[in-house]
C-alpha cells in the first residue's frame, strides 16, 4: 500500500525470512562466517541460541545459501519428531528407500549412504531449527548419528538452532554426553539502539528506497524500547509505522507513528515480571552500582568491589580460554554492521563489525590518543597502594565511551565469563610490549552472563580501525582472531 509513497520495490519489513534482507550487524555476520568455516574445516556439534524473533531462521536460510558446493544439508524444520521419525526424515533426505524397514536397518542404510558421500568428498550437515522443542530421545539419537565415522573423519555434522531453553535442556544430567560434543556455542545478540538505526535503513534501501534517513531519533528509541532489540518485533513496528506515515501523507517516521503501530499490533515493551531470584539479583546489582558510583567519585574502590571482581583464577595466557564464546577463524570473512564491506587483505582477513550500547560517536582527529593514562585513572588499592592493571583498563574503557571521540576499536577477543586473573596476565604482557595504554576493557552481556570485551586502540572511523589491523603487534596478529568493534 505504501510502496509507491516511499519509492520502494517491495515491502522492507516482512517477517518471512528473505535472504536479501539479511543484516550482518549485532554479531549476525560474525556467526554466519564462523558457521561456514566450522562446517568446512572443523568437527563437532554447533549450537546457535537466541530469543524468539532474534533472526535464527534467517541465519539458517543464509547458511543454506552460503555453504560450499561440497557441503550438502538436511534441514529439519519440524523439531517435534520422535526418534524414529527423525531417522525416516534423514533417510528420505539422503534419497534412501525406507518403506516398511525396521529402525536398525534404516540406521545401517544411513551409515552406508554417509560413507558413500564421504568417498565422494561430500560433507553432510543436519540443520535442526527450533531445537529447544526436540524431545530428549530424539536429541540423543542425533548424538548417536554424530558418532558415525570412517577412520578419523566424522560422517555427519549437526547444527542446533534454538531458544535459550535449549541451554537448560542440555544442562540436564542425561544430556551431558551430547553437551560435551558441542564444540561451538553462538548467541544471537539483540539489536542495540545504535545498531537499530542502521538496521532500519539497511532494510529500506534493500527494498529500493533512495532518500534520506526517515526514522527520527524518538521513533528509533521507542522501537528499541518496545522491541527489546528483537528483529521480528522491530519489523512489525517498522512496517506499521510506515503505513501510519503514509496515511498522514508524510515521509518522516515520528514517535506518534510508532505509537500507532504499537496500538495496532498490541505490542507493549517486552518486560517480564521479576521473580524472587531476579529481585534479589536486582538488589545486589543496585548495591554494586552504588559501589561503582563511589569508586568513580572517590577514585578509590570499596573493599567489597575488590572482592566481587576477584572472581576467577587460572594460568594467564594470551589466547582466550577454550570455553569462551567461539569466534571466527582468521580464514573467515565477515561483514560490517550496515553494509557489505570490501575484502581486506592481510594476515587477518576481514574484520567483522559489531556494535555496542554506547552513545553515537562524534568526529575526531585521525590520531586519537589513549582515552586516559594509568596514572590519571587508576584506582588505588588500600592494601598495596597500587591499582591493578585490570582496574586501570576498565576505567580507561569507561572513559573511552564517555569521551565520545572514538568511532571504533579493534576487538582482540571477548570472554563470556570474567576471568580476572587471566586478563591480568594478558595485561602484564601488554605492559611488557609497551602496549598497555592501547588496551581497553569493556564489560558486556553475553546471553545474560557478565562478560568482558578486550579492545585495542581508538580510531576515528571503522575504515581506520580496519586499516590498523595490519599494524597490530605480530604477537596479537598470530594469536587472536580480531574484529572491528564500532561504538
DSSP state of 53: T
pLDDT at residue 386, rounded to an integer: 57
Q: What is the pLDDT of residues 332-372, one digit of tens each?
A: 333 333 333 333 233 333 333 333 333 333 333 334 444 33
User: What are the sequence ranges of the domains in the chain?
Assistant: 3-18+191-265, 27-187, 310-486
Q: The cell 582527529 sits on which residue?
A: 365
Each residue of 408-440: b (16+ CB within 10 Å) or e?
Answer: bbbbbbbbbbbbbebbbbbbeebeeeebbbbbb
Contact 440, 458 (CB under 8 A): yes
Indicate the class that CATH gives domain 3-18+191-265.
mainly alpha
**Residue 73 backbone dihedrals phi, psi, to 5 degrees:** -115, 150
For 160-208, give the DSSP string.
EEE-THHHHHHTSGGGHHHHHTEEEEEEPPPPPHHHHHHHHHHHHHHTT
Strand pairing report for 45-49 and 182-187: parallel
Q: Which pTM was predicted?
A: 0.55
- State how far the Cα of 309 lies from the Cα of 303, in Å rounded to an integer: 10
Those residues of the chain that have pLDDT short of 50 are 272-385
- State how far the Cα of 195 lies from the Cα of 224, in Å rounded to an integer: 10
**Any idea which architecture 27-187 has in CATH?**
3-Layer(aba) Sandwich (3.40)
Amino acid at each position: 500500500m505504501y510502496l509507491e509513497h516511499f519509492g520502494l520495490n517491495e515491502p522492507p519489513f516482512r517477517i518471512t525470512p528473505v535472504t536479501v534482507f539479511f543484516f550482518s550487524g549485532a554479531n549476525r555476520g560474525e556467526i554466519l562466517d564462523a558457521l561456514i568455516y566450522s562446517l568446512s574445516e572443523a568437527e563437532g556439534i554447533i549450537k546457535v541460541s537466541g530469543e524468539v524473533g532474534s533472526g535464527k531462521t534467517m541465519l539458517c536460510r543464509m547458511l543454506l545459501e552460503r555453504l560450499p558446493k561440497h557441503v550438502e544439508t538436511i534441514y529439519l524444520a519440524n523439531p517435534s519428531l520422535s526418534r524414529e521419525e527423525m531417522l525416516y526424515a534423514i533417510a528420505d533426505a539422503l534419497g534412501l528407500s525406507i518403506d516398511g524397514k525396521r529402525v536398525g536397518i534404516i540406521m545401517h542404510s544411513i551409515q552406508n549412504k554417509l560413507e558413500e558421500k564421504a568417498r565422494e568428498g561430500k560433507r553432510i550437515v543436519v540443520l535442526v531449527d527450533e531445537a529447544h522443542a526436540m524431545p530428549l530421545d530424539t536429541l540423543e539419537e542425533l548424538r548417536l548419528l554424530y558418532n558415525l565415522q570412517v577412520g578419523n573423519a566424522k560422517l555427519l555434522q549437526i547444527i542446533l538452532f534454538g531458544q535459550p531453553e535449549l541451554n537448560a535442556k542440555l544442562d540436564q544430567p542425561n544430556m551431558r554426553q551430547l553437551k560435551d560434543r558441542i564444540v561451538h556455542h553462538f548467541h544471537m545478540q539483540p539489536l542495540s539502539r545504535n545498531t537499530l538505526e542502521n538496521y532500519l535503513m539497511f532494510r529500506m534501501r534493500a527494498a529500493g528506497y533512495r532518500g534520506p534517513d526517515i526514522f527520527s531519533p524518538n521513533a528509533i528509541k521507542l522501537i528499541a524500547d518496545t522491541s527489546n532489540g528483537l528483529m521480528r518485533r522491530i519489523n512489525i513496528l517498522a512496517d506499521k509505522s510506515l503505513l501510519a506515515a503514509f496515511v498522514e501523507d508524510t515521509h518522516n517516521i515520528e514517535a506518534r507513528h510508532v505509537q500507532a503501530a504499537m496500538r495496532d499490533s498490541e505490542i507493549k515493551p517486552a518486560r517480564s515480571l521479576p521473580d524472587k531470584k531476579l529481585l534479589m539479583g536486582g538488589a545486589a546489582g543496585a548495591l554494586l552500582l552504588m559501589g561503582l558510583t563511589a569508586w568513580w567519585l572517590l577514585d578509590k574502590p570499596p573493599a567489597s568491589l575488590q572482592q566481587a571482581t576477584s572472581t576467577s583464577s587460572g594460568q594467564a595466557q594470551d589466547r582466550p580460554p577454550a570455553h569462551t564464546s567461539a569466534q571466527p577463524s582468521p580464514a573467515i570473512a565477515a561483514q560490517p554492521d550496515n553494509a557489505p564491506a570490501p575484502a581486506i587483505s592481510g594476515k587477518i582477513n576481514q574484520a567483522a563489525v559489531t556494535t555496542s550500547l554506547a552513545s553515537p560517536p562524534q568526529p575526531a582527529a585521525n590520531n586519537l590518543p589513549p582515552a586516559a593514562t594509568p596514572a590519571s585513572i587508576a584506582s588505588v588499592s588500600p592494601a598495596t597502594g597500587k591499582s591493578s592493571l585490570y582496574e586501570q583498563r576498565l576505567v580507561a574503557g569507561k572513559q573511552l565511551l564517555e569521551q565520545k571521540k572514538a568511532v571504533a576499536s579493534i576487538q582482540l577477543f571477548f570472554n563470556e565469563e570474567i576471568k580476572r586473573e587471566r586478563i591480568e596476565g594478558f595485561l602484564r604482557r601488554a605492559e611488557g610490549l609497551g602496549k598497555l595504554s592501547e588496551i581497553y576493557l569493556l564489560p558486556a552481556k553475553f546471553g545474560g552472563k557478565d562478560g568482558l570485551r578486550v579492545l585495542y586502540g581508538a580510531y576515528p572511523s571503522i575504515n581506520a580501525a580496519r586499516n590498523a589491523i595490519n599494524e597490530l603487534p605480530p604477537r596479537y596478529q598470530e594469536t587472536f582472531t580480531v574484529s572491528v568493534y564500532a561504538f
